[in-house]
Amino acid sequence: MTQVCTRCVMDSTARSITFDAEGRCNYCSEFLARAGVELFKDPAQRQSELDFLVRRLKDEGRGKRYDCIMGLSGGVDSSSAIIKAISLGLRPLAVHMDNGWNSELAQSNIENLVRGLGVDLVTYVIDWREYRSLMQAFFAADVIDVELLYDNAMYAVNYQQARQWRTRWILAGTNLATEGMRIPPAWNWLKYDKRNIKALRRAHDGGSLRSFPAIGTLAYSWNLLVRRVQWVSFLDYFEFNKAEAIEELKRDFHYKPYPHKHYESVFTRLYMGYILPTKFDVDMRKVDYSNLIVSGQMTREEALRLLADPPYPSSVELDRDIAYFQKKLGWTTEEWSAYLSRPERSHEEFASERGLYTGIRDFSRRFRPASAR
Ligand SMILES: [Zn+2]
């Protein structure tokens, strides 16, 4: 029987979950302990921290073309973050990654926004043939984190741009209130694992990385600890209200909202909404909703009601996305079914940087001054 947390909606499908005497899970308890103060911060305090951050970016940006790098996916969060940055007088460079799966809606949303705001945009187009080979390698190995490819490349490109424009500030459209909770370790993989990406590709067809912009643990650590590049969850500095943000985007930037989360990318929605639940028994909505519950933006009852429905908006859309996927990757229906029914294998069966990452993290924690912890 599946045990569900009494405070959030995480459950025992997350294998390493633990519950306290009141039935509350380690994920929401840990999240509240770590981020509770931050989540329910006094607005005046938040404002003064924002003022401080903006001053610092402007000071450091003097004589440079940009004050910061900002990722732009076409989603509400990153779009709102960039609007806020512009309204505060910052000069961001917008960076968008195209891995060949963007929905047309995302493309037009980005174009309208960038034109409306007058910001410079760099679109980094990943070579599709190489990206497809890497995806095929991940599918053939039956490992869970296929999005590792996009996320790793996204980090790599953001750090590259920061270096090129001599800024150490990357502002992300992320925030604690909607995505601060830890994802169960078995539900994804270390995002800085370049060695794992290479090993999976080699095992599949003997190929190697060519133009794919991967980043490994050492380069990541160098950026963080030596170059002191700051990855800022920019929306944490605001009382962020998603519904209001969408209204503003629609009104001022001809923005067309997506019917569901992750709709910017056809693959991401198929992966989150169908591949993960079907092949891996993972429903990522549990993390999303639990986040919203803990930060007071959704009731537990509402989350349970939503979870009772399948993650896909409709079977018509699911069928359409599966057909699109098969055509794009050149798969037959038999190959698709075989993939879904094969058992999962761990990323750990392939060379990995996870040990290195944990080692560097623990080492740097031990030697960081107590005041900076
Ligand atoms: Zn919980």
pLDDT digits (tens, 9 = 90+) for 135-190: 999 999 999 999 999 999 999 999 999 999 999 999 998 888 778 899 999 999 99
Q: How many angstroms does the Cα of residue 183 sit away from the middle of ligand 1?
A: 12
Distance 301 CA to ligand 1 centre (A): 14
Instruction: Give residue 17 CA to ligand 1 midpoint distance, Å.
Output: 9
Task: Give the chain's end-to-end CA distance (angstroms, integer).
Answer: 40
pLDDT at site 342? 98
Q: How many Å lie between the centroid of ligand 1 and the Cα of residue 28?
A: 4
For the segment 76-104, the average pLDDT, to the nearest whole number, is: 94
Distance (Å) from CA 177 to ligand 1 centroid: 15
Nearest-angstrom CA–CA distance, 230 and 126: 25
Whether the per-residue pLDDT at 373 is higher than 50: the answer is: no
* Distance (Å) from CA 298 to ligand 1 centroid: 14
Residue with tokens 């859309």: 317
369 pLDDT tier (thresholds 50, 70, 90):
low
Q: Residue 275 gets which letter from DSSP?
A: I
pLDDT band at 371 (very low <50, low <70, confident <90, very high): very low
C-alpha of residue 178 to centroid of ligand 1, in Å: 15
Instruction: List, for residues 28-66, the tens digit of each pLDDT value.
Output: 999 999 888 888 888 899 999 999 999 999 999 999 999
In sequence order, which ranges of the chain are alpha helices (DSSP H)? 26-39, 43-61, 76-87, 104-117, 128-141, 148-164, 176-179, 194-205, 217-221, 242-253, 266-270, 276-280, 285-294, 300-308, 315-329, 333-341, 354-367
Nearest Cα to 171, choosing from 100, 101, 86, 47?
Answer: 86
Distance between Cα 305 and ligand 1 center (Å): 17
Average pLDDT over residues 235-250: 88
Contact 148, 193 (CB under 8 A): yes
Cα 265 to middle of ligand 1, angstroms:
29
Instruction: Please determine, for residue 260, whether its predicted confidence score (pLDDT) is greater than 90.
Output: no
Query: What tokens were used for 253?
Result: 């930037």
Centre of ligand 1 from the C-alpha of residue 292, in Å: 12
Q: How remote is the CA of residue 2 from the centroid of ligand 1, in Å?
A: 14
Q: Which of 78, 3, 12, 34 is closest to 294 using CA atoms?
A: 34
User: Which has the higher per-residue pLDDT, 226 or 146?
Assistant: 146
Mean pLDDT over each residue of the chain, to the nearest integer:
93
CA–centroid distance, residue 306 to ligand 1 (Å): 17
Cα(278) to centroid of ligand 1, in Å?
A: 23
Each residue's pLDDT tens digit, 8-25: 999 999 989 999 999 999
Ligand 1 centroid to residue 39 C-alpha, Å: 16
* pLDDT over threshold 50, residue 108: yes
What's the CA-to-centroid distance between 291 and ligand 1, angstroms?
A: 9
**Average pLDDT for 334-351:** 98
H-only helix segments in 214-253: 217-221, 242-253
Dist. CA 75 → ligand 1 center (Å): 27
Rounded Cα distance, 181 and 288, in Å: 8
3-state secondary structure string, 120-144? Answer: EEEEEECCHHHHHHHHHHHHHHCCC
Specify whether the CB–CB gap between 27 and 184 falls below 8 A: yes
What is the whole-number distance in angstroms between the Cα of residue 247 and the centre of ligand 1? Answer: 31
Mean pLDDT, range 320-344, rounded to an integer:
97
Q: 182 C-alpha to center of ligand 1: Å?
A: 11
**Residue 309 Cα, ligand 1 centroid: separation in angstroms?**
20
Q: Give the range among 150-154, 257-261, 341-345, 355-359 with minimum mean pLDDT.
A: 257-261
* Cα(4) to centroid(ligand 1), Å: 8
User: Torsion angle, CA of 192/149/339/289, rounded to 10 degrees?
Assistant: 80
User: Do 295 and 176 meet the contact criterion of CB atoms below 8 Å apart?
Assistant: yes
Supply the pLDDT for residue 1: 85
Q: 5 C-alpha vs ligand 1 centroid, how far in Å?
A: 5
